[in-house]
Amino acid sequence: MSIDRERARHAFQTINALPKNVGKYTSYVKALPASILQNGLGQAMATLLAASKGKPAMDGDAVNEPHRLLYEHIQTWLCRDNRSAPYRTTNGTEATNTQLMDAITEGDEAAYIRAQAEALAYLSWLKKFATAFRPEGERQ
């Protein structure tokens, strides 16, 4: 399977797993690529974390903090156990709470540039599916 199809499949599964009411998640997904291009991946991800104010992404089956949820979705894609992942985890382990920020701040420039490009490519799919299946303002 091509990397682009993997991105599409992962983004589709990610969006389908969300509850119907995702608050402003879709608008955050739409805005994140511009933030990454303007500020860089590290600052964009740090901004999402700061906006979440330490709140968990989910509260049971409901979206609690859409900023944190989006951060976790990007982290899951960039820090997965796959040879094409820029910040690869090993042995099938899930990304830890700060793994993406640790990788960004401690990794080399080549990995950072690759991760930024990969995040933008993944967000292209995530944005399409979020817009199609979780439109803003949709209430349950």
CATH number, residue 22: 1.10.520.30
The whole-angstrom separation of Cα 139 and Cα 13 is 21
Domain that holds residue 45: 3-133
Q: Is residue 138 part of a domain?
A: no
Question: Does residue 91 surpass a pLDDT of 80?
Answer: no
Q: What's the pLDDT score for residue 139?
A: 45
Degrees to nearest 5, angle at CA 21 with 17 and 23:
110
- Residue 91 domain-assigned (yes or no): yes
Domain annotation covers residue 140 = no
**Binning pLDDT at 50, 70 and 90, where does residue 105 land?**
very high
pLDDT at residue 137, as a whole number: 55
Residue 38 falls inside a structural domain:
yes
Residues 6+ apart with CB under 8 A from 94: 76
How many folded domains does the chain comprise? Answer: 1
What is the separation of C-alpha 40 from the centre of its chain, rounded to a whole number of angstroms? 14
Classified as helix, coil or strand, 136 is: coil
pTM for this entry: 0.90
Higher pLDDT, 129 or 96: 129
| Residue 97 confidence (pLDDT) | 66
State the chain's maximal CA–CA distance in angstroms.
44
Backbone angles phi, psi at 122, to 5 degrees: -65, -40
